[in-house]
Amino acid sequence: MIKIPLEILNLEDDGFHLLVDVQIFNKLFKAVVDTGASRTVLDKITVEEYIDAEALLLSDKLSAGLGTNSMESYMLTIPELTIGPLSIPDFDVAVLDLSMINIAYEKIEALPVIGVIGGDVMMRYGAVIDYNFPDICFSKIP
């Protein structure tokens, strides 16, 4: 089992987001840990800074849960997703425009995020989140 520290972001007394450091494209980013997200999603604007936009494959799946079901979504296989000591090679992610999240974060003077770590990672690696000692534990490590 590995433990990875989480940062708890207070959304101006309107709830909390859990943030974790991730490494993607050999660069460190913040990502939201979202138990309600079925898949891991990366921000299209940020991703396009590191890859050729032609590498994004248009998806025919709807983007439910972000206040719309009409947003174009894409799929991308990233060479590696690293969360603490957990390294996931050749990982498939959804790619959407998450600029509204980063605009909201900017308003509360929080750093932008590259995306959302979803249930696909948490289920696959047996994630347990502890709010008392803010961390995420992965028990199913390859």
Examine the pLDDT at 65 and tell me if it is beyond 80: no
pLDDT in tens, 85-136: 999 999 999 999 999 999 989 999 999 999 999 999 999 999 999 999 999 9
CATH code of the domain covering residue 60: 2.40.70.10
Domain count, the chain: 1
pLDDT in tens, 20-64: 999 999 999 999 999 999 999 999 999 999 998 888 989 876 555
pLDDT at position 70? 57
Please give the residue that has the higher pLDDT: either 67 or 5: 5
Please state the φ and ψ torsions of residue 44, each to the nearest 5 degrees: -60, -45
- The pTM for the full model equals 0.89
Looking at residue 33, its amino acid is V
Number of H helices, E strands in the chain: 3, 11
Name the band, by pLDDT with cuts 50, 70 and 90, for residue 67.
Answer: very low
Range of the domain at 121: 2-138
Buried b (16+ CB within 10 A) or exposed e, 115-134: bbbbebbbeebebeeeeeee
Q: Please, are residues 46 and 28 in contact by the beta-carbon 8 Å criterion?
A: no
